[in-house]
Amino acid sequence: MRFATLWQKPEINPETKKALTLPVLRPWDRYGRCFHLSWLGFFVAFISWFAFPPLQASIKKDLNLTPADVSNSNVVGLAATMVARFALGPLCDLIGPRYTMAFTLLVGAVPTAFVPLVKNKEGLFAIRFFVGLLGGTFVPCQMWTTTFFDTAVVGRANALAGGWGNAGGGVAYFTMPAVETSLLNRGFGDSRSWKFAFLVCPFILIVFIAIAILLFGYDCPEGKWSERTETKRLGKSNGSTPGIFTPDVTSPSRGSLDEKKDSANEVIRETDLEMSQAIEELEEFIEKPTFGDVMKIAFHPRTMLCALPYATTFGGELAVESILSAFYLAHSKKMGEDWTQQLAGNWGSMMGLMNIFTRPLGGYISDLLYQKYKTTLVKKYWMLACGILQSIFLLWIGLDTGITIAGLIVGVAFMSVFMEAGNGANFSLVPHINPHHSGIVAGITGGFGNMGGILFSLAFRFSVTATGATDYQKGIWEIAIATLLVNVLCALIPLGSNDYVSKLRR
């Protein structure tokens, strides 16, 4: 990647109208502008979604919550996001990622504004469920960048957008306690301070970005979703296999047929690699999905190749990040140090903020490997390697009961590098799984990430000691073992070749 491409007018693939470079420093260009709107929508959504854990001590005290209630509220939020991601994937294919993103933000802004009405744990569970819908914005975020950027750079585009958006979770860890403290100093009281913090920070930001997306965003490089190049091309396919260009036989003269036969023979004589790349460019379009498409693609082994590892990397990130501040606080006391909630929250934010660099790093390395070896297999094995290395560091953190607070911070930092790089590597592979229904694959993969978060959160839910405290290290080594097994077993799932490529070759 040449640094000049960051601000120069992007090179465009003439077939797909997608950018071959990433103009991050060119926001007035539609490619650069939509890239920034995609991650900003995800970013503000994550601030609201992750706003509860940093305020956990205040919420627990105000609503008289037990440790089980706290864990249950985390699971409720994760469950809502899982449902949202499963639903938003097909919706992106149907109406486009821009309107899907704006719609989700505006829907999620309503429960964010209603947080001050929470009076008990039942109210908290209800609010966390509906606020949890905002976590689904990850799917339109990734689909929006996939729509605008070519497969040569889609790994880093998706990883940058996902990483910068994910950083909203880290920002929430130090902004929400700071806003709460400011409101306390202004005399709002303990109960009202944490509740009104949601109005001061995430609510206003969510509404602002949603309006910006509607006013300044584009559905696709051509403008409207219904006018995208892929739709026009699909209309010329004469009703045959979607995306496969069949000859126009309206004037079947002998000479014309011979010319077409010669042309077809010329294509067949291309090398397998050249043919695969050509077909990938021609077939990189999105169809409106049917219910049958959703069911078939959702349970296809190729989809599971992305979904299951993402359940361990992003699922692990969700579970660990939701308890990290409390873990630091409890472990500091165990080691004879007296940390405040603000200090624990500040260090807890590190994991989320590392996404700014680590997730893009995973996607960037994936792109480099793909360009060097010209096969998606390297993307697969890089993704799985990240998951395995993540599990090794989780084992260290979970099994070393005498680890110092400094050692714990270092261990979490190294673990986060591979965990978050694995997320970036995963969504570098997603666009290759099924180009015709990328939204479905992205939605299923994203939903599995939340499913993993729910299952891993249960590890902490059932790691409560006899004294009523949570044994965080026990939950962490249990997550480590599950992560290791899943990523090793996924190596056995064949990536294969694209179904459409296989049909054309036959």
pLDDT tens-digit readout, 93-112: 889 999 999 999 999 999 99
Average pLDDT over residues 169-188: 87
pLDDT reported for residue 252: 42
**Does 303 fall in a domain?**
yes
User: Does residue 255 belong to any structural domain of this protein?
Assistant: no
Lowest mean pLDDT among 42-46, 235-239, 353-357: 235-239
Q: How confident is the model at residue 279 (pLDDT cuts 50, 70, 90)?
A: very low
Taking residues 292-298, what's their average pLDDT? 81
What pLDDT does residue 112 have? 94
CA distance 422 to 314: 8
Residue 251 φ/ψ, nearest 5 degrees: -125, 80
End-to-end CA distance of the chain: 37
Judged against a pLDDT cut of 70, whether residue 68 lies above it is answered with: yes
In a domain, 376, yes or no: yes
Inform me whether the pLDDT recorded for 250 exceeds 50. Answer: no
Backbone region of residue 274 per phi and psi (left: phi > 0; alpha: psi in -120 to 50; beta: other values): alpha
Amino acid at position 340, single letter? T
Taking 70 as the threshold, does the pLDDT of residue 471 lie above it? Answer: yes
pLDDT at res. 183: 92
Q: Tell me: the pLDDT tens digits for 7-37?
A: 888 889 888 889 988 888 888 899 999 999 9
Over range 386-406, report the average pLDDT. 93
- Residues of 426-460 as b/e, b for ≥16 C-beta within 10 angstroms? bbbbbbbbbbbbbbbbbbbbbbbbbbbbbbbbbbb
C-alpha dihedral (428, 433, 436, 439), degrees to nearest 10: -60
For residues 460-476, average pLDDT: 82
Task: Say if residues 347 and 409 touch (Cβ distance below 8 Å).
Answer: yes
The per-residue pLDDT for 285 is: 52
Predicted pLDDT of residue 57: 80
Give the DSSP per-residue string, 61-73: HHHT--HHHHHHH
63-72, 77-86, 380-389, 427-436, range with greatest mean pLDDT? 380-389
Judged against a pLDDT cut of 90, whether residue 414 lies above it is answered with yes
Angle, CA of 146, 152 and 157, to the nearest 5°? 45
- pLDDT number for residue 287: 60
Q: Which domain holds residue 478?
A: 23-223+293-496
> Is there a domain that residue 338 lies in?
yes
pLDDT exceeds 50 at position 209: yes
Domain count, the chain: 1
Residue-wise burial string across 39-60, b where 16 or more C-beta atoms lie within 10 A, e elsewhere: bbbbbbbbbbbbbbbbbbbbbb
Res 300 pLDDT > 60: yes
> Mean pLDDT across the stretch 236-253?
35
Instruction: Please determine, for residue 417, whether its predicted confidence score (pLDDT) is greater than 80.
Output: yes
pLDDT the model gives residue 168: 87
Residue 261 lies in a domain: no
Mean pLDDT of the chain: 82
Q: Is the pLDDT of residue 275 over 70?
A: no
The per-residue pLDDT for 247 is 32
Per the model's pLDDT, the better-predicted residue between 49 and 285 turns out to be 49
The Cα-based distances of 6 to 9, 153, 157, 421 in angstroms read 9, 12, 12, 22
Q: Is 80 within a domain? A: yes
Banded model confidence at residue 230, pLDDT cuts 50, 70, 90:
low
Is 451 within a domain?
yes
pLDDT interval class at 213 (50, 70, 90): very high
Q: What is the pLDDT of residue 237?
A: 38
What three-state secondary structure class fits 228? Answer: coil
Give the pLDDT confidence score for residue 281 in this predicted structure: 41
Share of the chain above pLDDT 70, in %: 85
Give mean pLDDT, residues 288-308. Answer: 84
Of the pLDDT bands very low, low, confident and very high (cuts 50, 70, 90), residue 67 is confident
pTM for the full model?
Answer: 0.73
Candidate ranges 44-48, 153-157, 275-279; pick with highest mean pLDDT? 44-48
225 vs 411, higher pLDDT: 411
Instruction: Compute the average pLDDT of residues 144-157.
Output: 87
| Partners of 44 in the β-ladder | none
Contacts of 219 (CB under 8 A, 6+ apart): 96, 97, 98, 99, 147, 225, 228
User: CATH no. for residue 95?
Assistant: 1.20.1250.20
Q: Is residue 78 part of a domain?
A: yes
